Amino acid sequence: MKNMFKKAVAICLCGMLVIPTAGVTQAKKPKQKKLKVNSSVASKVIDIKGETRLSVKGIKTSKLKFKSLNKKVATVNKKGIVTGKKKGKVKIKVTAKKRKPGVIKITVKDLKPTALNVKQKTLKIAKGKKAKLNTKVAPGGVYCPLSFSSSNADIATVDKAGVVKGKADGEAQIEVKTKEKNKAGEFLTKTVKVVVGKGKPDDGKFVDGTWFGTGKRSYYYEANGPDIVKIDAEGGKVKDVAEIKKTEDSEYDYGREKLFDWVKGKDDKEVDEMLQKLIKRLQGGPQPLDTVTGATETAVGNLSAIQNAIHRSKKYSKDNKEQNINYIDFVKRPSAAQFYGDSGKTFKLDDTVMKVAFKDGTTKDVKYNDLEANGVNVSPKHGSPLPAIGSEGLIHFTVEDSLIDMPTRYQVQKEKKPAWATKIVITFKDATKHEIDLNKNDFIYNYKFDREIDKTEIFYGDRKLADGTTTIPLQWDLDISKAELPEDATHWGFKYYRLVLEPAEDNSNIKKLFVDEASLKREYKVGDELNYDNVNITATTEKGTEKHFTNWNDCSTFGITANLAKGYKFTDADAGEKELTFSYKNQDNTEVSVTVKLMIKNVDKNIPAKILMTSNEQEPYVKTIDISDEDQTKFKNDGSIVLQGITLPKKYEANWSTAFTYKVLNNSGLELNIKADIKTEVKANILRIHILDFPLQDEQFGRIMFRPKFVD
């Protein structure tokens, strides 16, 4: 019965659900959904030149169209990548078929990197394999390109995209560094350990004997090649170092000798550590090459040559293979300009001549065709295909057994009808001139100067092409790229020339001393000790050569003396102006000097004891404020006090900052010199009185502050 009842109900319900179709209208089309646009940068804030990628969930980017509504602030490409142009806000419109357009707001700011992250702490790869470093710079959207460098390119190399390639079994360090500074003005760095193969190989022992070394870099490397040294090893340490070839000028002789002295008694690990420290110093930032950096480059060049000699020793201990060549050097470099045209598309190196120094003590000038037979390999070789026009690179002359790599630079140019600048004219401060004849093979020229240089110019015949510019000490750059070509020429053989200066040996008398007063503390208090450790002094010779000394140790080593000893303690008798004189006596007993005036202040006389406030009225109201002994002591120690409990009549509350004049007296009743333009911070109701003869650091002065209370 129950089942029969359920069936009856079901039949009735079915009947009720029958709906006639006649006269019923069609259903409306569903509404189009609005596109919801997402940004790869969650904050939707990007940097000038920074980027964010836009997307819509469930729709391929290729099906979307993007449009910037303000291209001056930011642009967007067909892949949905938004690039900031200048500070501001911009709307990006995104459209797709059968969907309502979506809009996303992007803000462009001037961002600074806050953090650098590298996913890999240690990277393990096989020899010949590649792996990319996973890097990220915060905040998202910041424009911050990175640089990558390897501590040992023989073990692992890294390209500008952060792709690491294993070259040989061993370990190396890859440094990742931001090219933009953070808010503190610092570059951010991370270091990744790279292990190729099974890790650090047995690279042999530093064994006794005489070993030659070829440097990997130097200040004048491109023009003069590497430094070459000879070392004597004993007991796994450097016993002695001798210079075979130096590439820097005589200004660096003193530093070079100090480096050689330091190396004596050091083992291979100590040399390696020092070299890495120096290289890291050079990688501290994109600053112009100054004298300090130049000295560091010199140290790196010489130390890398010593390291190379040690590596040769360790290699021999491992493979026992005779190293028949001590060193190589260029007699004639291959042409720096390599031409790509109808007449040829290959390297032309056959005019190269090299000096080869053999183990038996003999040397020989070897032409290109005989280099290989004498143990010197070349890469790329003569006749090998040239890379694309505009390419620059290095040609390597190597001796594998002796771990020698002697590179030289080249430019690939289109072969047409080149014209070549013919001379560089140097004009000195004394109006005399010197001409350097130019050839078709070199664009870098060295010149030993003995006088102060006023300007440089480059010529084609008698026609001036351009003036030289100098932004780096000891270097002039000459750009003729925009100079008018001769009638029958289609391009300049070299567009850019470089003049590298090397101070000539200058033993002429010192005629002038100059003190950089910014490097010298000039204001002292009674009881202070005189300190000129960091003084910068320039000595100018009669020939115009400038010798720069950046600390007192270097000054005194050169022979400069001072009339006041370092550490001299100033007394009451010194109060006021006192002269500090630096002198130098030439070999002919003539003497030059320069005097700097110091200010010695007796601050005890400038400690405030009483303040007189006088109202600017016909019948003035006088307020006397006595400063306690405790506050006087605090002022002497800290240079600043805050007075409490100062009261003034209520009637002055509205204009007290202008209603009074002030006098400050010491304990002897002497009026002190106070700041003339006394200012008040009205909102804070604070008066500040500066004691001008009580000096503090950073050009600040002693200060009294108080907040008066107004009473009836």
Task: Name the token pair of 39.
Answer: 């940004």
Is 80 exceeded by the pLDDT of residue 198? no
Quick: pLDDT tens for 655-669: 877 888 999 999 999
Q: Strand, coil or helix: what is 528?
A: coil
Who wins on pLDDT, 8 or 300?
Answer: 300
Under 8 Å between Cβ of 600 and 564: no
Name the most confidently modeled range: 179-188, 417-426, 681-690.
417-426
Who wins on pLDDT, 631 or 451?
Answer: 631
Q: Span 599-627, mean pLDDT?
A: 90
Q: Span 461-484, mean pLDDT?
A: 92
Amino acid of residue 573:
A
Angle at 20 between CA 15 and CA 21, to 5 degrees: 140
**Inter-helix orientation angle 253-263/291-319, to 10°:** 40
Radius of gyration of the chain (CA): 38
Is 70 exceeded by the pLDDT of residue 368? yes
Quick: pLDDT tens for 238-285: 999 999 988 876 666 777 788 888 999 999 889 888 888 877 776 654
* Element at 300 (helix H, strand E): helix 291-319
Quick: pLDDT tens for 515-566: 998 899 988 888 889 999 999 999 998 877 788 898 999 999 999 999 999 9
Amino acid of residue 205:
K
Look at the alpha carbons of 616, 622, 628, 633 in this order and tell me if their dihedral is positive or negative: positive
Residue 704's nearest CA partner among 648, 636, 655, 652 is 636
pLDDT category, 343, cuts 50, 70, 90?
A: low
Under 8 Å between Cβ of 399 and 328: yes
Amino acid of residue 3:
N
Q: What is the pTM of this model?
A: 0.41
Q: Give the C-alpha separation, 361 to 310, whole Å.
A: 20
Who wins on pLDDT, 276 or 148?
Answer: 148
Is 50 exceeded by the pLDDT of residue 190? yes
DSSP secondary structure letter of residue 57 = T
Q: Give the C-alpha separation, 200 to 191, whole Å.
A: 17
CA-CA distances (angstroms) from residue 44 to 52, 83, 114, 659?
8, 12, 17, 54
Q: Span 224-243, mean pLDDT?
A: 90
pLDDT at 248: 75
Q: Give the C-alpha separation, 56 to 64, whole Å.
A: 8
Determine what percent of the chain is predicted with pLDDT higher than 90.
Answer: 50
Is 70 exceeded by the pLDDT of residue 676? no
Average pLDDT, the chain: 86
653 Cβ contact partners less than 8 Å away, ≥ 6 residues apart: 710
Strand partners, 477: 469, 498
Who wins on pLDDT, 22 or 509?
Answer: 509
pLDDT at 599: 86
Task: Name the token pair of 144.
Answer: 């911050």
pLDDT category, 19, cuts 50, 70, 90?
A: very low
pLDDT category, 70, cuts 50, 70, 90?
A: very high
pLDDT at 392: 82
629 Cβ contact partners less than 8 Å away, ≥ 6 residues apart: none
366 Cβ contact partners less than 8 Å away, ≥ 6 residues apart: 353, 354, 355, 356, 374, 376
pLDDT at 408: 87
Q: Give the C-alpha separation, 244 to 205, whole Å.
A: 24
